[in-house]
Structure 1
Amino acid sequence: MRRLLAIVLSLAFASCVAAGLRGSGDLGVVVERANGSLLVVEHSGNSRLAEVKGLGDLSHASVVFSRDERYAYVFGRDGGLTKVDILEGRIVKRVMQSGNSIGGAISQDGRLVAVSNYEPGGVRVFDADTLEMVADIPAEYAPGKFSKTVGLVDAPGNRFVFSLYDGDQIWLVDMNDPRKPRVTRFRDIGRAPYDALITPDGRYYIAGLFGEDSMALLDLWHPEKGVRKILGGYLAHDDKLPVYKMPHLEGWAVAGDRAFVPAVGQHKVLVINTDSWQQEAEIKVHGQPVFVMARPDSRQVWVNFAHPDNDTVQVIDAESLRVIKTLVPGRAVLHMEFTPRGERL
């Protein structure tokens, strides 16, 4: 009788535990920048699960996720780095690591979180479990001169890559020994790199240059070949318009062998062949594009725009290179994100 009771109690306990468990594959987060909070949502039933408050200045926040997708690392504009448990809807740890930061990345093995800082200029690297700082990499490009760092990405082989806005450089950092980073510096890559991206295969790092009509490309398979310019003079034949918001290069869309690129200060999206890195077409759009996002199946590319056209989103067919739909979903569209299989935006 006791044995039967023990079995029944064990089954009841297991049932309770199972009922309280869920995966993280259909979870997402929304940054509520005006409130300094993070909203946890799920897209199977389109519901809000939790609101995590106390994350500081989120006016230019970004988020990366742990390998198991349980934790979100939130990078605040005030220099705050916050680790959030999205299953439990709570802050695990929060550190103020600088005075002004602009984004971050997590290493390939998931052990390190790097933060890109404006003030003090440089990159700081933290243990992903404890948020203990393991490396401080000041962006000193000349004696006593420190640069804002931008375009921080993680690269294969537990490396980070970032650009020095004031120093006209790209730095490649090997973090396989976290306490002893190995930094490779690429100088004179072009004027004022303002943002960057890494291609989905992890091979190419591309920095946009605010100071000239070209971009800087680093082949991470062959870094010994250095940085080369691509798309030189791509705006030479256009009337330059006031730039209301700099486009984000991490918002590039790579679909097949084409990259769809927002043109700085122009009402168009450039189409780049990723084999030759030459422009092959341009698409006229509603305004100055900010984010150009590929649907996960690469069949469509969605574009949002800078003020005063930021109420509009356009959809481009990736095969015909035509705008096939124009949407006005609200007063201002700031960011876009697809669900993993692309059925919703």
Structure 2
Amino acid sequence: MRRERSCPRVAAVRRRLAANCLWPVLALLLAGCQAPGPGAADVDAAGVPELTELRGTGDLGLVIERATGSVLVVDTTAHKTLGRIEGLGDLSHASVVYSRDARYGFVFGRDGGLTKVDLLTRRIVNRTLQSGNSIGGAISQDGRFVAVSNYQPGGVKVFDSGTLEQVMDIPAHYTTALGEPARSKTVGLVDAPGNQFVFSLFDADQVWTLDMASPAREITRYPAGRAPYDALISPDGRYYIAGLFGQDGLSLLDLWNPELGVSEILPGYGKGEQKLPVYKMPHLEGWAIAGGRAFVPAVGHHQVLVANMADWALEDRIPVQGQPVFVMASPDNRQIWVSFAHPGNDVVQVIDTRSRQVIRTLEPGKAVLHMEFSPRGEEVWVSARDSNRITVYSTRSLEPVATLEAEKPSGIFFTSRAHTLGL
């Protein structure tokens, strides 16, 4: 049989084709040998997870470990801790906001630290000590800016959310009753529609708005009630409401009609009642707004106040077992969960919004500090600092369904906040 002799060029093409056909097969075989199993991740030399696992961030969150300067990354679906991020400084009073993609958390520490953390790789991306004493912050509506409110020095600083480069420094200057210049502590900082920030000046009795969308980044100042100590913004972004430490009542700014200035609502709610010592100021970010009513913690009283949002008149008072700190509504607005200041801070009470009655008193542990609802409200996570644990409750049965260990846990912040105004 005669054997044909091939042209050298034809032989080279045949060899190239054979190699090209084999490469996809070899690549698949190698991938099968090397691919991580479900939920696996590579680690670098320092033992930090590399991003090889494909997963979303919608069911993740951060838990503040206040005594150790660390945060836990938690999975709200699996009820488990994925890892710990350390080196965040003084977290004795800390809060968190999230980037629009819910991958990055911005942690505001009491020592003035602003720390950007990556929830997927579980590491610090960037960190800056931007002041001497900080009380919280917010991220702008478009996600471009992170603002921090400061006690020392008094004022607000604004940073680029990508790089943490400082964009603005806004000293909270005011003139005292004696005519002397001073700087006020800033509190109650929230984001608002129109790419605005709104905050209060505790010492100056004022509310300021900062318009990040205007070319001049205009600041507008409004006189307010005495000693605003914290604030919230309604879910629709219309009303900014500041609690007042210096008087019974609240200050309200209607952002749809800012030309009307700040008005007073619920004036004299404690009239005729003896005001009790205040062991811990209420956290107004957790105010509950449900069914057209606002459920408000009363300063110095063992009550949750109910205001009708149609005219902001006081409609009811719900007696509770202590001084409320957090008064939070479940996402379906059926329940109000209330935590308390010392010495009654080992319990949580649940109020039914229809009957306005306490329907259950729970005991999550010693020194309850914070609560957070799962995004759709089927569960609520409760931190107990002195019991070193977090208890997860079913909002239907009001029974515990899981517990997680944590080192002196305080704030709990889920990534669903990335898509919620004012949080």
Q: TM-score when scaled to structure 2?
A: 0.79
User: Residue 176 of structure 1 aligns with which residue?
Assistant: 213
Equivalent residue in structure 2 for 1:241, among 276, 279, 298: 276
Separation in 2 of the partners of 1:216 and 1:44? 39
Residue 208 (structure 2) pairs with residue 191 (structure 1): no
Q: Deviations over 1:133-183 (max 9, x none)?
A: 0001110012631100000000001100000000010001101257x4210
Q: Report 1:9-28 matches (<5 A).
A: 13=31, 16=35, 20-28=53-61
User: Residue 341 of structure 2 aligns with which residue?
Assistant: 306
Higher-Rg member (1/2): 2
Q: Report 1:72-83 matches (<5 A).
A: 72-83=105-116
Letter of the 2:129 partner, please give it. M
Identity %: 66
Greater relative contact order: 1 or 2 (C-alpha under 8 angstroms, separation 6 or more)? 2
The runs of at least 4 consecutive aligned structure 1 residues that moved more than 2 Å come to 1-19
Decide whether aligned partners of structure 1 residues 110 and 276 sit closer, same or farther in structure 2, where only a CA change above 3 A counts: same
Separation in 1 of the partners of 2:115 and 2:31? 34
User: Residue 123 of structure 2 aligns with which residue?
Assistant: 90
Q: Report 1:94-243 matches (<5 A).
A: 94-142=127-175, 144-177=181-214, 180-187=216-223, 189-243=224-278
Separation in 2 of the partners of 1:17 and 1:3? 26
Decide whether aligned partners of structure 1 residues 9 and 342 sit closer, same or farther in structure 2, where only a CA change above 3 A counts: farther
Displacement, 1:310?
Answer: 0.2
Q: Report 1:277-292 matches (<5 A).
A: 277-292=312-327
Q: Deviations over 1:275-305 (max 9, x none)?
A: 1111111111111100001111111010010
Paired residues in the alignment total 343
Separation in 1 of the partners of 2:230 and 2:27? 55
Displacement, 1:341?
Answer: 1.1
Displacement, 1:327?
Answer: 0.5
Separation in 2 of the partners of 1:39 and 1:271? 35
* Secondary structure, aligned partner of 2:369: coil
Q: Report 1:33-72 matches (<5 A).
A: 33-72=66-105
**RMSD, matched Cα:** 1.7
* Secondary structure, aligned partner of 1:336: strand
Letter of the 2:55 partner, please give it. R
Displacement, 1:44?
Answer: 1.2
User: Residue 6 of structure 1 aligns with which residue?
Assistant: 23
User: Residue 360 of structure 2 aligns with which residue?
Assistant: 325
* Secondary structure, aligned partner of 1:334: strand
Q: Deviations over 1:189-217 (max 9, x none)?
A: 11111111100100000011111111110
* Secondary structure, aligned partner of 2:371: coil
